[in-house]
Amino acid sequence: MNNNENTIKKFDDYVAHSYGRYPLAMKSGQNRQCIDENNMKYIDLGSGIGCNCLGYCDEQWADAVCTQVRTLQHTSNYYYTEVQAEFAEKLCKSTGYESVFFGNSGAEANECAIKTARKYSFDKYGKGRHNIITLVNSFHGRTMATLSATGQDVFHNYFFPFLEGFINVEANNTDDLKAKLDDTVCAVMLEYVQGEGGVIALDQEFVDAVFELCAEKDILVIADEVQTGIGRTGKLLAGEWYGKKADITTLAKGIAGGIPMGACLFSSKTKDVLTAGTHGSTFGGNPIACAGGIVVIDRITGGDFLDEVNKKASYIKTKLEESSAVKSLSGKGLMIGITLSDESKKAADIAKKAFEKGLLVLTAKEKVRLLPPLNITYDELNDGIKILIEILEE
Ligand SMILES: *Cc1c(COP(=O)(O)O)cnc(C)c1O
């Protein structure tokens, strides 16, 4: 019998049917490969949607996490822990931010950003300045507020009423932005590279306009770097590519190397907005997650790690561009969108074929999307890209 079947049946029976899944029951992982219950190996160019940024069960990371599990697994935020203090300091010093609020996911990090923006404005200007501009085609999460913020109509079904106070502006359309940036607005929220929306980097001119117009009117800029942050694009934060530092930046996905964690970073302007009792999270800043996060941040900011990420990014780009099946590439660093020359080919079908051949890739809209582990080796890349190109050229 196919060993996967037992696990899959239990999911059918007992796990909510909210995901379309591949028939793959993952058993273990090592480096950039995982193994399913039939002992089939897969090269993973998706890294659990960018979360396993150091690959599977990195030794140094696993040691730090296991040591923390045996030392102190959790305490409430009524108390201090050294591990949270250390991670907060490292995160702030390496990103140039002043303070951080820890949650457990990207959506929570964005909820925190939304609340902070509204309170910043309320404290300074009183009621009525609560609207947040988000971009068409954005993705900010699945909770009610972040879903309301998400600028894609496909997500705005079933769950009415959505939260008020979000206005969509077309990405890279400065006129649209200007028209909507009135005195009801407290913040503009953006992804420098829209991830779920199709791996689309914003234009420099548009980002410049956002920051300039917002600065004039004391409107906050919130950068949702849940996907682009923590080295994914070849800089610690993608904002660095644009020469920008948002008033609030949110992180999650890769932040703790595959342990649930989200973070909301505050600049000097926003660091004192949240006061005792105004926000909280029971698990936020969990010691195990922080222990994993410390290893991640040390590794990514150490030595020539990010240079290597950029080298590998251009290496993949060159390899893919050699194939006539690839029409164009998008994204930044190791956040890569592939548009296929043959428009009749569907990204989802490519991903399925890849999976059958031992390669895991993601999709975003009509594109094949790659989010390889940041420390992937050239050998692993070569193996993965070879399979992918074979499938694309079939
Ligand atoms: C994944 C993602 C989120 C949501 O993160 P969760 O951890 O699933 O809540 C929010 N924003 C962006 C840009 C993302 O890519």
Tell me: the pLDDT tens digits for 225-277? 999 999 999 999 999 999 999 999 999 999 999 999 999 999 999 999 999 99
Distance from Cα 253 to the centre of ligand 1, integer Å: 7
CA of 202 to the centre of ligand 1 (A): 18
Question: What would the CATH number be for the domain defined by 3-58+304-392?
Answer: 3.90.1150.10
Q: Is the CATH number 3.40.50.1980 carried by domain 72-301?
A: no
Residue 12's SS3 state is helix
195 lines ligand 1 (CB under 6 A): yes
Q: What is the CA radius of gyration of the chain?
A: 21
- pLDDT tens sequence across 357-386: 999 999 999 999 999 999 999 999 999 999
Q: Is residue 56 scored above 90 in pLDDT?
A: yes
What is the three-class DSSP state of 74?
A: coil
Q: Ligand 1: which atom is nearest the Cα of residue 260?
A: 7
Banded pLDDT at 4 (limits 50, 70, 90): confident
Share of the chain above pLDDT 70, in %: 99
d(CA 204, CA 152): 22
In the 8-state DSSP scheme, what is residue 96? T
162-196 tens-digit pLDDT: 999 999 999 999 999 999 999 999 999 999 999 99
CA of 190 to the centre of ligand 1 (A): 12
CB-ligand 1 contact for 251 (6 Å cutoff): no
Whether residue 324 has pLDDT greater than 80? yes
Ligand 1 neighbourhood includes 168 CB (under 6 angstroms):
no
Mean residue pLDDT across the chain: 97
- 249 touches 97 (CB < 8 A): yes
Sequence-ordered list of residues with C-beta below 8 angstroms from that of 272, at least 6 positions apart, any chain: none
Q: What distance in angstroms lies between residue 390's CA and the mean position of ligand 1's atoms?
A: 31
pLDDT, tens only, 122-169: 999 999 999 999 999 999 999 999 999 999 999 999 999 999 999 999
What is the rounded distance in angstroms from the CA atom of residue 328 to the CA atom of residue 172? 20
Token pair 């404005």 is at which residue? Answer: 121
What was the pLDDT predicted at 2?
67
Rounded Cα distance, 346 and 199, in Å: 16
* Position in ligand 1 atom list of the atom nearest CA 108: 9
- Which residue ranges make up each domain of the chain? 3-58+304-392, 72-301
Which residues partner with 31 through β-bridges? 56
**73-95 in b/e burial notation, b at 16+ Cβ within 10 A?**
eeeeeeeebebbeebbebbbeeb
pLDDT at 1 over 80: no
Question: Does the Cβ of 369 fall within 6 Å of ligand 1?
Answer: no
Asked if pLDDT for residue 106 goes beyond 60, the answer is yes
Asked if 283 and 105 touch (Cβ cutoff 8 Å), the reply is no
